[in-house]
Copies of this chain bind each other. A is one copy, B any other.
Amino acid sequence: MYADWTGKTCRDNGFDFTLRETKREDLEDHIRAANADSLVDGIMVYYPVFDSERDRTLQFMVNMRKDVEGLSPHLIDNMYQNVRFLDPPHNTQKSILPCTPLAMIKILEYLQIYNTFLDYGKRLFGRRITVINRSEVVGRPLAALLANDGAEVYSVDVTGVQQFSRGAGLSKQQHEVVDKPGWTLENCLQQTDVVISGVPGDNFKVPTHLVRDGAVCINFSSEKVSP
């Protein structure tokens, strides 16, 4: 299903798309072959494969130059370090960002939360954003990306609140993370312009009465409603 959509989007944009199916125990060999195949420019693995830590090992195997999902360790590392290109100082090759966090950023750009009057890389300066969920796949990289773009980000999960920020006046080149002991979701929501939530299941709902008037709200998790 997801592969059908990838194929359609690739063809719509002029890319060839081939779906290769394999037994999961053979997948590593297929990734190695695709890494070496000069006819393959990009690789996308449809997860979950083993639905365990082993999937992360598969992600690490995809050649960084062909990793269209932005999950390779070096790309992830660049993202956290606010390194945006693979070839400084020429800066012709962008360091690919993880796809789901990037999708959030594209939404925020569309909604003009990014202020194009400001310099590239600082366009969230002055924005305060709450991100509920601090997973390694979406929540934490998203908080880092937004903070690297200049926002003050409150990252919230069941363990508490952390602030991701480049400091007053964006004095730091990349974001830093500090714990906010005693802070609750309520403290965050009262002063944020954007609320991004990704908590699956129906046990958690954002208390909307605490959300500021005019705040942009995005939910990136889905919930299966029982009949």
Chain A: residues with CB nearer than 8 A to chain B? 110-112, 115-117, 125-127, 150, 152, 168-169, 191, 193, 212-216
Contact = CB atoms under 8 A, between A and B. Distances in A.
Closest 10 CB pairs of A and B: A126-B214, A125-B214, A112-B117, A112-B115, A111-B117, A168-B213, A126-B215, A126-B213, A126-B193, A169-B213
Contacts of A127: 214
12 contacts: A111-B115, A112-B112, A112-B115, A112-B117, A125-B214, A126-B193, A126-B213, A126-B216, A127-B214, A152-B213, A168-B213, A169-B213
A117 B113 CA distance: 10
Question: Dominant SS at the A interface?
Answer: loop
B110 A117 contact: yes
A169 B111 CA distance: 18
Contacts of A214: 125-127, 150
A21 to B, nearest CB: 42
A161 B212 CA distance: 21
Contacts of A150: 214
A123 to B, nearest CB: 10
A215 B126 CA distance: 6
A191 B191 contact: yes
A215 B125 CA distance: 9
Nearest to A215: B126
A216 B125 CA distance: 11
Nearest to A115: B112
Nearest to A214: B126
